[in-house]
Amino acid sequence: MAETRSFVGGGAARWDVVHAVRCYGHIVRMWIRAALAYPASFWMTMAGNLAASGMDFVVIVVMFLHTHALGGWSLPQVAFLYGTSGVTLGLADIFVGSMDQLGVRVREGSVDTVLVRPVPALAQIAGDRFALRRIGRVLQSGAVLTWSLLRLDLSWTPLKVLVFASLVLCGTVIFGSVFVGGSACHFFMADAAEVQNSFTYGGATMLQYPPTIYARDIVRGTVFGVPLAFVNWLPALYLLGRDDPLGLPSWFRFASPLAALLCATAAGLLWRTGLRSYRSTGS
Amino acid sequence: MYAAVCLRSFRRYSTYRAATWARVFTNTVFGFILTYTYIALWHVRPHLGGYDLSAAITYVWIGQGLLSLLAVGDLGALADLQTRIANGDVAVDLFRPVDQQRWWLAVDAGRAGYQLLTNALVPMLVGGLAFHLRLPQGSAVDVVAGWAATALALALALVVSYALRYLVALTGFWLLDLRGIQLVYYLTSCFFGGFFLPVTVFPPALEAVARALPFIAVFQVPADVFLQHDDAAGALGALGVQLAWAVVLLGLGRLVQSRAVRKVVVQGG
């Protein structure tokens, strides 16, 4: 089986990764072509995605009609959090978000068809029903992020540019890992698939607001538990020059790549465990 | 017979245990997140929109509790009707000697009954343990009246929500892809229903729009009745608004249905 082949040796493993990415690309291209076959439907659902994710920002704007600061953060600063949270979740959602359908497949037993194909299961499941329309969230959040960057007037330094680039990249990896790890749990509890939403969409909603408004234990949980704080809160503290409500050492603000690496590893292990424990439906 | 349908529907929904608990968990998590954003806002602006902090927090948890019960984001039991319209099974339903609108209302009421015991109650209890929630208060008469009015407002809210969703599902007779209209329904009902923020917090123009739409009858009204946001006369007026919307929307549903039935074309096998 394709999954076990990656253990054969170094050379084979590298070939496997390239093979997996290439297969993923094929599946993705197929789904994009399928979606674009109905252009009206595609553009409408994309606009819908854009509007749905924009609703959260409308709520924030309405809140700021009544105040100049929320938890001590100004509107452009909160918009920065909103934008980075939306862009990273949106990108992760595009690449691997369709995996939350895995619970249905486990229940139906249709994972069987995935396992008999000579393509890594992760590439197939992640690429399945790839939805380009989800780019709506990225575009909308990206627009808010651009506005906030123009308003914030950060005095850019090479280090800041680097931290910003790593925020987008690592944030996407962290959210992507939560999607993959959460989906792996569907192998054990197919009916409870919705729990995953708490960590992905719930987590993204949480990251739209400053960490100062939450109870300290909750913020601590996002640093040491499911490390969502590394997506945007901690890098934002550095970029916006704000104090850490937890008083963590300052290197935490630069530790997002480490957190992303840990997340990806944990998600990979969970995925393997889940896939191995898969027993078909028997019908 | 409709009572039997309602009971069977209740039993049917009670078999989806894991899915129910997953939903309860998600609603509770969102409840915590929203509560902290409300605390931050009401900390700067106490009594914003006519709610004190405790009432504002309660507003969040009522919302999380009622989200599934009133099927704010989805079609509830009417998802089945929508599927039956899409695949043509609705032709069989129309053949039966029952009233479609009442039949599905009975099914949806059974679903709502089950959600009341799980999705509404559990997040409220968790929220009540973590924060100070405001229950109907005042003299003994006020408390009893408050709970009774809430029960009535909730029942009416369910009927209005059902009538709206019935209309959404019926569009399936004309449209092939319902995703667009469902999303529009979700966004407008959540926003103008006061689900994200109470409409009293909106800018005046936006509040006027919200007050003119039926969505406040689904969520804002029952929440305000529970929180005793208005005096007795105001609460009675709000219940009247709910009743009016229920009658209008159910009537509209019947009208649309009589048109839709003529559209049904059963494909020959």
State ipTM. Answer: 0.89
What confidence score (pLDDT) does residue B129 get? Answer: 95
What pLDDT score was predicted for residue A8? 43
User: Would the CB atoms of A66 and B183 count as touching at under 8 Å?
Assistant: no
A11-70 residues touching B, CB cutoff 8 A? 41, 44-45, 48, 51-52, 55, 58-59, 62-63, 65-67, 69-70
Let me know if residue A177 belongs to a domain: yes
Asked if B205 reaches chain A (Cβ–Cβ under 8 Å), the answer is no
Contact state of A194 with B191 under an 8 Å Cβ cutoff: no
DSSP conformation class of A192: G
Angstrom distance (rounded) from CA A218 to CA B203? 32
Determine, yes or no, domain membership for A157.
yes
Q: Which residues of chain A have pLDDT under 50?
A: 1-9
By the 10 Å C-beta count (0-12 exposed, 13-18 middle, 19+ buried), B137 is classed as: exposed
Could you tell me the pLDDT band of residue B153, with boundaries at 50, 70 and 90? very high
Q: Is the pLDDT of residue B269 over 70?
A: no
| Mean pLDDT for chain B overall | 90
Measure the CA–CA gap between A222 and B89, rounded to whole angstroms. Answer: 48
B173 at A interface, C-beta within 8 A = no
pLDDT of B219 over the 70 cut: yes
Give the closest-approach CA distance of A53 to chain B in angstroms: 10
Q: Which of B243, B242, B240 is nearest to B220 (CA)?
A: B242
pLDDT at A9: 46
Q: For residue B268, is pLDDT > 60? A: no
> CA–CA separation, A282 vs B171, rounded Å?
39
Asked whether residue B193 carries a pLDDT value surpassing 80, the answer given is yes
Residue A264 CB burial class (10 angstroms; 0-12, 13-18, ≥19)? middle
Tokens of B14: 């009670």
Q: What is the mean pLDDT of residues B103-130?
A: 92
- What pLDDT, on a 0 to 100 scale, did the predictor assign at position B140? 92
Q: Which residue does chain A place closest to B44, by CA atoms? A: A67
Which pair of structure tokens corresponds to residue A253?
């603000």
- Best of B37, B42, B64 to mutate (most A CBs within 10 Å, chain A): B37
Does residue A185 belong to the interface with chain B, where contact is any CB pair within 8 Å?
no
A31 or B91, which is more confident? A31
Sign of the dihedral defined by the CA atoms of residues B233, B236, B134, B144, in that order: positive
d(CA B21, CA B122): 10
Across the interface, whether the CB atoms of A215 and B183 are under 8 A apart is answered no
Under 8 Å between Cβ of A31 and A129: yes
Instruction: Write the pLDDT tens digit of every residue in A152-208.
Output: 988 899 999 999 999 999 999 999 999 999 999 888 887 777 888 899 999 999 999
Domain that holds residue B241: 2-263
Evaluate whether residue A251 is within a structural domain.
yes
Contact B29 A192 (CB under 8 A): no
Interface residue B47 vs chain A (CB under 8 A): no
Contacts of B29 in chain A (CB under 8 A): 198, 202
User: How many domains does chain B fold into?
Assistant: 1
Whether B255 and chain A come into contact, CB under 8 Å, resolves to no
Residue range(s) defining the domain that contains residue A205: 9-276
* Mean pLDDT on B185-199: 91
pLDDT of residue B174: 85
Q: Is residue B268 part of a domain?
A: no
CA A23 to CA A1: how far, in whole Å? 15
Nearest residue of A to residue B197 by CA position?
A59
For residue B82, what pLDDT band results from cuts at 50, 70 and 90?
confident
Question: Domain tally for chain A?
Answer: 1
Contact B22 A206 (CB under 8 A): no
* Element holding A145 (H helix, E strand): helix A135-152
Question: Do the domain assignments include residue B269?
Answer: no
- A34: how many CB neighbours lie within 10 A of its CB? 12
| Contact criterion met (CB below 8 Å) for B50 and B200 | yes
Contact B29 A63 (CB under 8 A): no
Can you tell me the distance from the alpha carbon of B242 to that of B153, in angstroms, rounded to the nearest whole number?
Answer: 8
Residue B259 belongs to a domain: yes
pLDDT in tens, B56-71: 999 999 999 998 888 8
A218 touches B at CB < 8 Å:
yes
For A208, residues 6+ apart whose C-beta sits below 8 A from its C-beta are: A56, A60, A78, A81, A82, A85, A86
* Residues from chain B contacting residue A58 (CB–CB below 8 Å): 191
Taking contacts as CB-CB distances below 8 angstroms, the residues of chain B near A71 are 40
CA distances from B64 to B70, B72, B95, B123 (A): 10, 10, 39, 7
Q: Which residues of B touch A107 (CB under 8 A)?
A: none
Cβ contact (<8 Å) for A189 and B177?
no
Q: Residue B199 and residue B218: Cα distance in Å, rounded?
A: 13
- At residue B81, the pLDDT reads 87
- Which pLDDT score is estimated for B175? 81
Query: Residues 91 to 130 of A: which have CB under 8 A from any B CB?
Result: none
Q: Is residue A204 part of a domain?
A: yes
Q: Tally C-beta pairs within 8 A across A and B.
A: 89
Closest Cα of chain A to B26: distance in Å? Answer: 5
Flag whether B136 is in a domain.
yes
Task: Classify residue B137: in a domain, yes or no.
Answer: yes
